Each structure stands twice: as C-alpha cells, then as structure tokens.
Amino acid sequence: MSDRLSAEEQNYYVAIKGKMLRRFGMAAGIQRDVLTHRFDERTVRRWMARASKDLEALIPQIPYIGGGENEFTRYLLYPAGILPLARVMRYEGVPLRAIGRTIFDVSAVAYSAIPAPVRWWMGRSYFTEKRKARWCETAARSQERRYAGDWVCEFVEGDGETFVYGLNMAECGLLKFWRAQGLEELVPYLCLTDYALWRAIGVEVRRTQTLANGGSCCDYRYVGRGKDGPSGWPPEPLPEWTGKYESPLPSD
C-alpha cells in the first residue's frame, strides 16, 4: 500500500470541485425539503447554511482512491454531500436515529426522482456480463491495496440458483472516511440507503452483515430483477442490522 500521490492525484477533488458543488447544490434542495417536514424552518436554514460552508472545506479531505478509474470513487463522492449536514445535526444534539432517518429519506427521495427509463436501465445493467466483468476486475485490483482509503473486496461467482454474483467487502472506504470525520456511528444508516436504491431500480440484493454494523465483511448477493426487496426502513427486520450505536433503541 502506498500513500505517495502525484500532484494531480492530490488535487483530484479540488480540480472537480465546481462540478461537485453544482451536484451537491441540487441535492441540497432535497435535504431542505426532508428537513422542513421535521424541524422548524429557521433551524433548517441555519443548518443548511452551515453545511454549505463546511462542504467546501470537506472536499479536499476526501481520500483519493484512483479517481474515475476506480468504480468505488463515486461511493465516496455521493454520500459526501450529506456529511456536513449530518455533522451539524450531530453537533446540535439531534438524536442519532433522527439523523439516520434523514439520511435515508434524502436518499430515497433522490432515487425515486430518477426518471423511470433511467431507473429501468440501471436495474438492467446490474446483471449484464459487462457489469460482472467490471466488478471482477475491480475486486482483483482492490486486493493490491494501493490506496489506504479504498475498499478491498472479492468477487463471488453465483451458484446458478440463489444469486447471480456477489461481493464480499473486507474493507469499506466509506466507513474509513466517515470514521476519520468522527461520524462512524452514522455509517450503518448510509448502508440502509442501498435498499432505497435497489427498490427504486427493481433489483433484489441480499446482505446479511456489514462492516459498519460490526460484521466481518459486507456480503452482497445480487439475486435478480423485478422483485421487491426490503424497503430499508425501519432497519430492524434486516439481518445486517445490529443497532450497535442505538442504546436504548428509541421509537420512530
């Protein structure tokens, strides 16, 4: 593993900051709408203003893991847009469960807003030979552990009956990054947003454990299309959910 980065690699996120801020700006509208259903408008305005300011400072801190050549880079970028808001809410004493529900609902609204033809295409792409080959290559490359902040995983061939293919994540870049930002306890809720995506695009995926919930790995098993999997919220019915940071468990 090497942390030696070229100047171009060190400045990767700074170079695309404008594009990132525009994308996050669109997502901020969804965040604001979700928040105003639960909190007073004055508080929401204050939180959003602080989060917007903090976002610019956060961008250079996102770990470089290969840029556009790494399949996992987007899984660092997309959740980064809500990290500053989550931190503001945590700082102001909002209960953990309430922040987690906000993270989940923001993601669910965003995914449901994707045009139906695009969602159909996304679901279909999960089970193409090209997709499987890309994940197989990504998994093999991850074993090199070139970047400390990256994911490490192995590709699992399907059994021909219960699942098409799978991934076992031994290390999670998202967990590493949010832990470094002092927000490790929110990552199990980020994991739940996967279910919101899978339901939106009509894909069934089984997962019995995640690293964020204290598991030995994240065990993804891609089952097929056209089936309604778990909704993701509330999380208690999910095998992966341990509620390790919720004690005692509050009511919804």
> Following CA atoms 175, 237, 167, 211 in sequence, which dihedral angle do they give, to the nearest 10 degrees?
30
* 183 belongs to a structural domain: yes
- In degrees, to the nearest 5, what angle opens at C-alpha 209 toward C-alphas 206 and 213? 135
Q: Which pair of structure tokens corresponds to residue 219?
A: 């065990």
What Å distances lie between residue 206 and 34, 119, 132, 189, 195, CA to CA? 28, 19, 17, 17, 10
* 50 belongs to a structural domain: yes
Q: For position 203, what pLDDT does the model report?
A: 96
* 101 belongs to a structural domain: yes
> Per-residue DSSP letters for 85-119?
HHHHHHHTT--HHHHHHHHHHHHHHHHHTS-HHHH
Reported pTM: 0.93
Q: Which residues of the chain have pLDDT under 70?
A: 1-3, 247-252
* 242 belongs to a structural domain: no
Q: For position 3, what pLDDT does the model report?
A: 62
Q: Are 131 and 125 in contact (CB under 8 A)?
A: yes
* 230 belongs to a structural domain: no
Q: Are 98 and 38 in contact (CB under 8 A)?
A: yes
* 240 belongs to a structural domain: no
* 40 belongs to a structural domain: yes
List the domain range (segments joined by +) for residue 135: 7-225
Q: For position 232, what pLDDT does the model report?
A: 97
Q: Which pair of structure tokens corresponds to residue 247?
A: 């004690």
Domains held by the chain: number: 1
* 252 belongs to a structural domain: no
